[in-house]
Amino acid sequence: DAGVTQSPTHLIKTRGQQVTLRCSPKSGHDTVSWYQQALGQGPQFIFQYYEEEERQRGNFPDRFSGHQFPNYSSELNVNALLLGDSALYLCASSLAQGVAKLFFGSGTQLSVL
């Protein structure tokens, strides 16, 4: 049973560029959440997708957008990259019903130069 998979594992971009990160949820899961983790800090919630809709959004600017596909996989897009966007981006999947225990992927390390 494959867990949550994220791609790419590492990415280097320059300021002003755009980036797309991808996530495939754990088999059977229908909900995907994205988190940003700066070095030495706990993850911060970006948004959650369920039934291809953004169900909840954290305190992140509109430069951060996402999408969920019919197969429940998801993308995170960040436009006009800033140096401060350098972080580990984590995807988590869960079931919409019940306890909703989160399972995390290994993350995408984004460096903005």
Partner 1 sequence: KQEVTQIPAALSVPEGENLVLNCSFTDSAIYNLQWFRQDPGKGLTSLLLIQSSQREQTSGRLNASLDKSSGRSTLYIAASQPGDSATYLCAVRHYNDYKLSFGAGTTVTVRA
Residues lying near partner 1 in the complex (CB under 8 A) are found at 4, 6, 33, 35, 40-45, 48, 55-56, 58, 88, 90, 92, 99-107, 109
Nearest to 19 by CA among 63, 49, 59: 63
Six-digit token pair at 36?
């940003």
- For the bound state, the minimum distance from the C-beta of residue 92 to partner 1, rounded and expressed in Å, comes to 8
- For the bound state, the minimum distance from the C-beta of residue 82 to partner 1, rounded and expressed in Å, comes to 22
Residues 6+ apart with CB under 8 A from 31: 25, 48, 49, 50, 55, 72, 93, 94, 95, 96, 100
Which residue's CB is nearer to partner 1, number 11 or number 88? 88
- For the bound state, the minimum distance from the C-beta of residue 47 to partner 1, rounded and expressed in Å, comes to 9
Whole-angstrom distance, CA of residue 57 vs CA of residue 60: 8
Which residue's CB is nearer to partner 1, number 25 or number 43? 43
